[in-house]
Amino acid sequence: MPNGRTPPTSIYVMAYDQCDELDVVGPCGVFAAANFFLSQKRSDDDPQPRGKTFTVRVVAVDDSGAVEAQGSAGPLYFVTGIQGLTLGVEPWDGDDLPDLLFVAGGNTEAGTGIRRQAENKAFIGAIARQHTAGKQVVSLCTGVLGLLKAGILRGRRITGHPDVLNELVQSGAHVFNPDWEARVVDDGDLITAGGVTSGIDEALHIVRAFWPDDPQLESDVRDFIDFRYRSPIVGPPSS
């Protein structure tokens, strides 16, 4: 792995109206399992926690389609996914940047889902600021279209949902087909993945890549969620 990769203290998952629910909850499940293991004592003889846990927030920027409801402790915010499930989100101004920003995919019909967000200045601006700040950007499935509109793909090694590969090729990027070349492509500060279920592979790769001092962590998480399939991954460029 490239020098300088350290465990993140914060991961934000960008959700929006007509995002794909599995793009959000799949990786979040992996990260929750990682946090569980990090919080456990190292051994019976060493009560210190295995590692530092990290914050995971599902966030929504302005014009993301989030709706407000009044809860007992104050306002609550939700978006509705493409399968009709509602996801709780936290409003995000796009300026308080996390260590790792995860962009979920969504509906690709004109004016909906990720297509709508690709024209949303708040959405694209947050991705661009994350990249300009030198922080990690991760996309899943059609979420890569948000990265495309943010103008950060030229010359990079990437992948995405098979249905959007032709658009990605036009960006000047080196595009891998997730069906037979790579489900996850790690290009340093930019990590992309193929279709919806690739998010599990991608999140497991993040656990492996960003906790290099705990190589057992990814295996523990993989066993815990009972995910046996190992996808082809194009690793980070040599330093």
Q: What is the pLDDT of residues 182-192, one digit of tens each?
A: 999 999 999 99
Q: Single out the residue of 237, 236, 233, 230 nearest to residue 182, CA to CA.
A: 233
Question: Which range, of 88-92, 113-117, 182-186, 230-234, averages the lowest pLDDT?
Answer: 230-234
- For residues 210 and 73, which has the higher predicted lDDT (pLDDT)? 210
pLDDT of 79 strictly over 50: yes
Residue whose structure tokens are 């709508």: 116
Are 58 and 87 in contact, with CB atoms under 8 Å apart? yes
Residue in 19, 82, 141, 175 annotated catalytic? 141
Q: What is the pLDDT of residue 238?
A: 59
Q: Is 141 a catalytic residue?
A: yes
Are 139 and 192 in contact, with CB atoms under 8 Å apart? yes
Backbone dihedral angles phi then psi of residue 103, each to the nearest 5 degrees: -105, 110
Q: What is the pLDDT of residues 162-186, one digit of tens each?
A: 999 999 998 899 999 988 889 999 9
User: Which pLDDT band, with edges at 50, 70 and 90, does 3 fall under?
Assistant: very low
CA distance 220 to 202: 16
DSSP 138-164: EE-GGGHHHHHHTT--TT-EE---GGG
Q: What is the pLDDT of residue 2?
A: 45
Q: What is the pLDDT of residues 128-173, one digit of tens each?
A: 999 999 999 999 999 999 999 999 999 999 999 999 999 999 889 9
Residues in contact with 190: Cβ distance below 8 Å, sequence separation at least 6, in sequence order: 131, 136, 137, 138, 147, 152, 153, 156, 158
Q: What is the pLDDT of residues 37-57, one digit of tens each?
A: 999 988 888 889 999 999 999
Q: What is the pLDDT of residues 14-33, one digit of tens each?
A: 999 999 999 999 999 999 99
Domains of the chain (ranges; CATH) run: 10-150+196-234 (3.40.50.880)
Secondary structure of 86-104 in HEC code, one letter for each residue: EEEEEECCCCCCCCEEEEC
Q: Single out the residue of 103, 172, 174 nearest to residue 138, CA to CA.
A: 103
pLDDT of 217 strictly over 50: yes
